[in-house]
Amino acid sequence: MRQGIFTYKDGTKKEDILFASKDTHTGTGGTHGQGDIVMEYEKLVEVLGEPLHSDGYKSQCEWVIEFKPKNSPNQIATIYDWKLGKQYLGEEGEDKENIMYWNVGGYNNIVIKYLTSLFMPMN
Give pLDDT tens digits for 58-113: 999 988 888 877 777 888 889 999 999 988 999 999 999 999 999 999 998 888 88
Enter the DSSP assignment of 79: E
CB under 8 Å to 117, separation ≥6 — which residues? 14
Indicate the pTM of the whole model.
0.78
Average pLDDT, rounded, for the chain:
78
